[in-house]
Amino acid sequence: MTENVVKFRRPEKKPEPKPPRKPGLPGWAPWLGLVAVAVVIYLAQQAGLLGA
């Protein structure tokens, strides 16, 4: 009975082409901005500009 069964394979999908990258900020830019803000806040605290 099993010799009469036809086995099918899934057709292979072609990988989707990646969309072209948009010109603009690189991926690390937001992190650089976050670190810069943290450094500014730290320096302002050390200078006594933020109170406490």
CA dist 41 to 32, 33, 52, Å?
Answer: 14, 12, 13
User: pLDDT for 12-26, tens place per residue?
Assistant: 888 888 888 778 888
Q: So what's the pLDDT on residue 3?
A: 73
Stronger pLDDT, 2 or 31, i.e. the higher one:
31
User: pLDDT for 26-45, tens place per residue?
Assistant: 889 999 999 999 999 999 99
> Can you give the pTM of this predicted structure?
0.51
Strands (E), 1-52: none
